[in-house]
Chains A and B, each alone.
Chain A
Amino acid sequence: MSKVNYVHETQQYVIGFVGAATLTILAYLSVKLDWFDATTTAIFVLVLAVLQFSVQVYYFLHLRGEAKPRWRSWTFIYSIVMMLVVVFGSLWVMYNLNYRMGMSGEAMEEYMLEQGKKGF
């Protein structure tokens, strides 16, 4: 392998590092200095986290240019899909449960009667 190749790879690492550091600092400042209201800040830092995840996967993990049949890339994508199912599925079920369990007895009875009228 030529030397140029290593220079390029080192550059990739530097770009990844600078990108990740910038995104981390941006997230920190947005929380520390209250740039937005609470909901917007929450969405903002989550978007930054996904961006930083992408930057690190692209520049640090060597998934680019993987030869076919690309086992790593596909298992990675599949795992992320399953991860989202587990996380958002759990949240969905548990918030629903909380909502129903959080009612007073009377409210619950009324709610159940209403649901009963709708049928299944």
Chain B
Amino acid sequence: MTSHAAHLKEKAEKASLGFWLYLMTDIMVFASLFATYVILRNGTNGGPASQDIFNLEFVMVETFLLLVSSFTSGLAYLAVRRGLKRRALVLLGTTIALGIGFLTLELYEFGELILAGHGPAHSAFLSAFFTLVGTHGLHILIGIIWAIALGDYISKHGTSPDALRKFSLFVVFWHFLDLVWIFIFTIVYLLGIIS
């Protein structure tokens, strides 16, 4: 290995570990929001409870949009590694489109609730719900912007080692967001409908 290649590898390794540590702190952010939500979920203040406002089919569509996008982002990463620029861009584009679809549905859900007078100010339950799900949505928005910037970078510079390093961070971030969504789907929506 040339010293240049060794340098690049070390740089990638450091960036990847640093980004991973950021994600670990993000786990704590979501942990406290989940704890808050579970504690406040019965504080409905005479307003709607979780089973009154959640639509399971709607949430299933959201869940699958995000799961498929997590899958395509992983395939896009493999394509970048193989140096298949075109395939990587198509898969990344799919990931972005699915992410935008997810975010649109989430904003639609929020909009419906707010228009029906069930905004975050209505009850402790709704405050906790909007904060938890909204924080996740904000991460998704950042991920989408990041993915668009990455697509732009790859279309200009191709599948260089730098592109691969940047992409590997994004793909971990995107998988992480789907991991958080598993628990939002289960704890907020599924358990919300059961109780």
Q: Is the beta-carbon distance between B67 and A21 smaller than 8 angstroms? A: yes
Interface digits, A29-49 against B, CB 8 Å rule (1 contact, 0 not)? 001100000100110011011
State whether the Cβ of A86 lies closer than 8 Å to any Cβ in chain B: yes
Q: Is the beta-carbon distance between A13 and B78 smaller than 8 angstroms? A: yes
CB of B167, distance to nearest CB on chain A (Å):
13
State the interface size on chain A (CB cutoff 8 A): 41
Complex CA gap A38/B193 in Å reads 10
Chain B residues near A46 (CB-CB < 8 A): 186-187, 191
The majority secondary structure among interface residues of chain B is: helix
Assess A61 versus B78: contact at CB under 8 Å? Given A82-B28, A86-B31, A86-B35: no
State whether the Cβ of B114 lies closer than 8 Å to any Cβ in chain A: no
The tally of CB-CB contacts under 8 A between chains A and B is: 109
Chain B residues near A31 (CB-CB < 8 A): 56, 190, 193-194
Q: Is the beta-carbon distance between B27 and A10 smaller than 8 angstroms? A: no
CB of A102, distance to nearest CB on chain B (Å):
12
State whether the Cβ of B8 lies closer than 8 Å to any Cβ in chain A: no
The majority secondary structure among interface residues of chain A is: helix
Chain B residues near A90 (CB-CB < 8 A): 32, 35-36, 39
Q: Interface stretch among B102-110, B126-134, B150-158, B172-180?
A: B172-180
Interface residues on B, range: 35 or more
Chain A residues near B60 (CB-CB < 8 A): 24, 28
CB of B11, distance to nearest CB on chain A (Å):
16
CB of A82, distance to nearest CB on chain B (Å):
6
Tell me the A62-114 residues at the B interface (CB within 8 Å).
Answer: 71-72, 75-76, 78-80, 82-83, 86-87, 90-91, 94
8 Å CB contact of B17 from A6, A53, A72, A80: A72
Complex CA gap A115/B81 in Å reads 65
Interface digits, B54-80 against A, CB 8 Å rule (1 contact, 0 not)? 001000100110011011001100100
Q: Is the beta-carbon distance between B194 and A60 smaller than 8 angstroms? A: no
Q: Rank and list the top 5 A-B pairs by shortest CB-CB distance, nearest first.
A: A90-B35, A49-B186, A83-B31, A79-B24, A17-B71
| Residues in A lying within 8 Å of B, measured CB to CB | 1, 6, 9-10, 13, 16-17, 20-21, 24, 27-28, 31-32, 38, 41-42, 45-46, 48-49, 52-53, 56-57, 60-61, 71-72, 75-76, 78-80, 82-83, 86-87, 90-91, 94
- 21 residue pairs A–B, Cβ–Cβ below 8 Å: A1-B81, A16-B71, A17-B67, A24-B60, A24-B64, A31-B190, A31-B194, A45-B186, A46-B186, A49-B183, A57-B179, A60-B74, A60-B175, A60-B178, A72-B17, A79-B24, A82-B28, A83-B31, A87-B38, A90-B35, A91-B35
